[in-house]
Chain A
Amino acid sequence: MSASSNPEVSDAIEGTRSPIVARRRVRRATTGQIAVAVVTLLVGLVVCIPVITVFLMSLRTGLPGRSGPLTIENFQEVFLDPFTYQVLLNTALFALGTIVVTLLFAVPIVWLLTRTDLPYRKTIYVLMTAGILIPTFLRTIAWILLLSPKIGLINQLIMELLGLENPPFSLYNIPGMAFVQGISLVPAAFFMLSAAYSAMDPSLEEAAYASGVSKLRTFLKINLPITVPAIAAVMIYLLMTAFSVFEAPAILGLPADIYVLSSVIYFAITPQVGLPDYGLAGAYGLIMLVTGVAASVLYFRIVRESRKYVVVTGRGYRPKRIELGRYRYLAVAFILLYFAFEIFMPFAVLVWASLLPYLQVPSMAALSKVTLAAYQSIPEYAGLRPFMNTFILIGLAPAVAIAVSIAISWIVVRTRYRIRGLLDGLAFLPHAVPHILFAVALSYLALVYRTALPIYGTIFIIVFAHAISFISYGTRVMNSAMIQIDPELEEAGRACGASTPRVVGRITIPLVAAAVFNGWLWIALLSYREVTMALVLYSPGSEVISTLIWKMWTSAYVSQVSALGVVMILIVLVLVLVLRTVFVRAQMGTPMQG
């Protein structure tokens, strides 16, 4: 189906529709219209098919590919089982707990950084971005090494020091999950909140003072109402994320038999015994999908509402920073505590555990046992393949996602085709679909069509899954970059006689090079740190580093898992530093002489 054979599509993508033109149905579409229609169609297909698959999955029983009548058996099984309600309750409690933990750290830190004379602000910003280098599943494992009732170092230490019989902490419960997940989401919440805060015009506050209103009343009547939409948007974002994340709740829930929606879906298709039950996964998935889409709609509403609040701003006066005085070191200590939880302690415990044959409390005796054996044996148990696959994944997935995002964003930002709103929505849809669900749907599809398209279990289906799910990030980054470019720069190119593709290639993309690079790096990092989709989609031969660590963790190879974890973090650290340096050099223009 092409645009020229379908008048509705042509009309829809034509910017203006005059009645005369609309009546004259036979009309030639321009090259631009055809290109836009093709892009929209392709994006629509790859984004919508997995969603539709979830529906179909939920209406079938048995193994993928088995055709039979559609049935509501799966829903009966789900909704008649009290276990389902336990799972929903767990999910809700986990989500609430996560939001509480995240905001408990994020809100004071945002306030301290934007409104007070806190020292070391630059360093704190850098550390906030550094947290992404530790994948959530590794942070979860590290916290288990610290707080597990059996082997956790902190538990052992406290028991030893206080002579306790029983370990004081356990991480294998919902508060434990919420703690690890909440800690991991603080940077995202931090950046969203501080962006909202700095978009606020400080003279709104000053105008209230100038009207003779006290500081407290101004805070209550002006600051608070204006920032409420932003805080609400962040809370809904956190809620959506907590509903769909898989890694922390799965690792911590499995030993204690505590399940949330995402882990139930995973265990439905990878049962310890018996056959995978895609129908059941589909039914649970549909619950997740509906809440996810509903929350997204709500999220969009609130964000649009809060956009209205961004008014013309004058020169960049910042309100005077509040002097912390002697509390400044208390504030720094609070932030350090957070970074200890998020970065330092997890990394330190991984390093420590990787150097010992078995986990033990630091002591002279333990120090004498330090060995690099776990590192030396990596080639033996891992081989080269997971590393190669990981590099294929983080090279290819962001490249595909960004290339598609550039095309989409250009159409959305630069053209007047009517279809661009739909395209923008389609590009954002993957954000509303939990990764676990997306992967399950893709794996189902790949199994059904394994003869026609033999990609099931290869690294390429993993690449595909990552590329599609991260298009929503890519288009957000590219949209905001392209909005900043004056359209006249492109028009000037066209006025010189250059064709549209040439103008985009020679003018637009070079102008947004920094955003392209940042978007690519960001998606590469997200791909690298994520285990969920790869875990559902991999087969022997297509494992990546993260799935290898996961599998070894389930077999309790503590030292090896820690060693691989440390290697994983160091690889990405070096990669980011090198890429950034190279890119900054390239942006400077001519490379340095000599």
Chain B
Amino acid sequence: MIEIRGLRKSYETRYGPVEAVRGIDLRVNEGEFCVLLGPSGCGKTTTLRAVAGLERPDAGVVVIGDQKVSDAEAGIFVPVEKRDIGMVFQSYAVWPHMSVLRNVAFPLTEGWRRTHAAEVERRVKLALERVHLEGLEKRSATELSGGQQQRVALARAIVIEPKVLLMDEPLSNLDARLREELRTEIRRLTRELGVTTLYVTHDQSEALSMGDVICVMNRGEILQIGNPEKIYQEPASVFVAEFVGKMNFLHVRVEGKDAVSSPLGAIQCLLPDGFGIGRDVILAIRPEHLEVLEDRESPVADTNTFRGELTSRWYLGDNVFCEVSVNQQVLMARVPIDLKLELGSHVRLRFPPQRLRIIEELPGNG
């Protein structure tokens, strides 16, 4: 289990202090895989390094398992080398002057977890098997490919069977194919070991496919925490919605219990409680949820259906991504490839009420 409460950290720079993390609260349950997702510079690495003990927080509490490892108020700070963690770095950080074997054995031969030779051998062997590096023990670390080096780093992190595993963009130095392969393996491995994991990435597909829980960050703050479905389907803000995928937004005004007025016309939707009539909110819908239909030339009578013009289309293999202009609003949609549509032709767009999401945009956010 990892628990972070009220974490703050700022750096002194030439241009004054930079607030990298501005009050973060997060709890990762035992055995859970939590992904910190956000754009570059939002404070993910700083948060992770504070958990690792590589940065000393200005304020807040960090708990690993049942041990409070850092508490700025109380002046508690367990140094990194005393924490029960395994860590994987973006740059692999495989020691170039040692063989694969010595790299992986290092925590067991040099750290506080020192143990006898037979046990070291057994555990190193097991760790290397787990990452599929059997037979490469004697190799110098620098003779390995990037993917193999990252496996060595992974083996080194799990060989101690740590309480928590911390990974900072471990796949971002690898090429796309390897990334996907290792994604699956890391997930399988953490499940097998049941280890609590904190994983940092800026890649939304990595986050969605790997995380039990995703924690979206921006500017040193957490915007939303939830499982992948929740984050994707029910983003709490425009920022989260856009960061995890494409999204159409319409500025609308609440007109009744289940209706809003939009620049396109009236739209029926399921409004959550607490949205009074006359409030300005944002209506969001993912492109794959917009229904595009051939125009039947008959007057549009169905609810939530509007006539528009197809202004662009991109064939993507498994679907067609297109833009439809309705009343000068451009909406993105994904349609099946067998729907034959000419550029410039008229189409009808339908907004399925159950797919519509109302975002109450907070001032100054996004």
Q: Which chain A residues have a beta carbon within 8 Å of chain B's beta carbons?
A: 201, 203-204, 206-215, 217-218, 221-222, 225-226, 308-309, 311-315, 317
A213 to B111, CA, bound (A): 4
Given the contacts A215-B81, A311-B142, A312-B173, A210 and B95 also touching, CB distance less than 8 Å: no
Contacts of B54 in A (CB 8 A): 206, 209-210
A425 to B31, CA, bound (A): 57
A201 to B97, CA, bound (A): 13
Q: Is the CB of A313 within 8 A of B80?
A: no
Q: Is the CB of A221 within 8 A of B110?
A: yes
B83 CB to closest chain A CB (Å) equals: 8
B53 CB to closest chain A CB (Å) equals: 8
Q: Which chain B residues have a beta carbon within 8 Å of chain A's beta carbons?
A: 45, 52-54, 79-83, 85-87, 89-97, 106-107, 110-113, 142, 146, 149, 153, 156-157, 160, 166, 168-169, 173
Given the contacts A211-B160, A221-B110, A312-B146, A206 and B82 also touching, CB distance less than 8 Å: no
Contacts of A226 in B (CB 8 A): 95-97
A226 to B98, CA, bound (A): 10
Contacts of B166 in A (CB 8 A): 210
A510 to B80, CA, bound (A): 48
Given the contacts A226-B96, A315-B45, A210 and B80 also touching, CB distance less than 8 Å: yes
B160 CB to closest chain A CB (Å) equals: 7
Contacts of B90 in A (CB 8 A): 203, 314-315
Closest to B97 in A: A225
B89 in complex: contacting residue of A206, A214, A225, A308, CB < 8 Å: A206
Contacts of A311 in B (CB 8 A): 91-94, 96, 142, 149
B97 in complex: contacting residue of A207, A213, A214, A309, CB < 8 Å: A309
B113 in complex: contacting residue of A206, A212, A315, A317, CB < 8 Å: A212
Q: Which of A201, A207, A221 is the most central at the interface, judged by chain B CB atoms within 10 Å of its CB?
A: A207
Contacts of B45 in A (CB 8 A): 315, 317
Contacts of A209 in B (CB 8 A): 53-54, 79-81
Q: Is the CB of A206 within 8 A of B80?
A: yes
Q: Is the CB of A212 within 8 A of B160?
A: yes
B156 in complex: contacting residue of A203, A211, A215, A222, CB < 8 Å: A211
A314 in complex: contacting residue of B86, B89, B107, B113, CB < 8 Å: B89
Contacts of B157 in A (CB 8 A): 210
Closest to A224 in B: B97
A214 to B85, CA, bound (A): 14
Q: Is the CB of A308 within 8 A of B96?
A: yes
A203 in complex: contacting residue of B79, B81, B83, B91, CB < 8 Å: B91
Given the contacts A210-B86, A213-B81, A315-B90, A309 and B156 also touching, CB distance less than 8 Å: no
What would be 11 A-B contacts, judged by CB atoms less than 8 Å apart?
A206-B80, A206-B89, A208-B95, A210-B52, A212-B82, A212-B107, A212-B112, A213-B110, A218-B81, A312-B91, A312-B146
A207 in complex: contacting residue of B146, B153, B160, CB < 8 Å: B153
Given contacts A203-B91, A312-B146, 11 further A-B contacts (CB under 8 A): A204-B95, A206-B93, A209-B79, A209-B80, A210-B52, A212-B107, A214-B112, A226-B95, A226-B96, A313-B91, A314-B173
Given the contacts A211-B110, A211-B160, A213-B106, A204 and B81 also touching, CB distance less than 8 Å: no
Q: Is the CB of A212 within 8 A of B173?
A: no
Contacts of B111 in A (CB 8 A): 211-214
The 6 closest A-B pairs by CB, nearest first: A212-B111, A211-B107, A210-B87, A314-B91, A314-B90, A207-B93
Given the contacts A213-B81, A215-B81, A208 and B106 also touching, CB distance less than 8 Å: yes
Given the contacts A308-B142, A311-B142, A211 and B106 also touching, CB distance less than 8 Å: yes
A214 to B106, CA, bound (A): 12
Q: Is the CB of B81 within 8 A of A207?
A: no
A248 to B298, CA, bound (A): 100
Contacts of A315 in B (CB 8 A): 45, 90
B354 CB to closest chain A CB (Å) equals: 43
Closest to A201 in B: B91
A75 CB to closest chain B CB (Å) equals: 43
Contacts of B149 in A (CB 8 A): 311
A213 to B92, CA, bound (A): 18
A301 CB to closest chain B CB (Å) equals: 16
